[in-house]
Amino acid sequence: MAYDIRLVKLINGETVLGKWDEAGGKLTDVALLQTIPAQQGVQMLLLPFGYPFETEIGGDISLSHVLYEYKKCPEELKTRYLEAVSNLTLSTSGDLKTLSDLAGKGNISDLLKK
């Protein structure tokens, strides 16, 4: 299932992202985006919206609390968000290798024999 992930600014000034639910009038599984100054510029940190009292990403925010919706949300940020919500590591098509590549052989049955 594909999710509509949106990056928004709330009326309190915080930048968050979550799953857009137009029918329900809410943003679900909300994560707070914090920027941290670093030597190479700025690092971004995704936290549960209720941090430090909540350690899991969740919760809902009404769309009436959204002040601004960014036109684009970087794909890498969406990927990191989905990894944090699902506790899975997502790979891009460039990262995938076939079993025969991993085995160094053209025959998958040789890999299974080891």
Average pLDDT over residues 73-91: 85
| Token duo for residue 94 | 């460039």
Give percent of the chain above pLDDT 70.
Answer: 76
d(CA 26, CA 9): 14
d(CA 4, CA 82): 11
The answer to whether residue 1 scores a pLDDT higher than 70 is no
**DSSP alpha helix (H) spans, the chain:** 75-86, 99-103, 108-113
Does domain 5-89 match CATH 2.60.40.790?
Answer: no
The answer to whether residue 29 scores a pLDDT higher than 70 is yes
pLDDT-derived band at 48, boundaries 50, 70, 90? very high
pLDDT-derived band at 92, boundaries 50, 70, 90? low
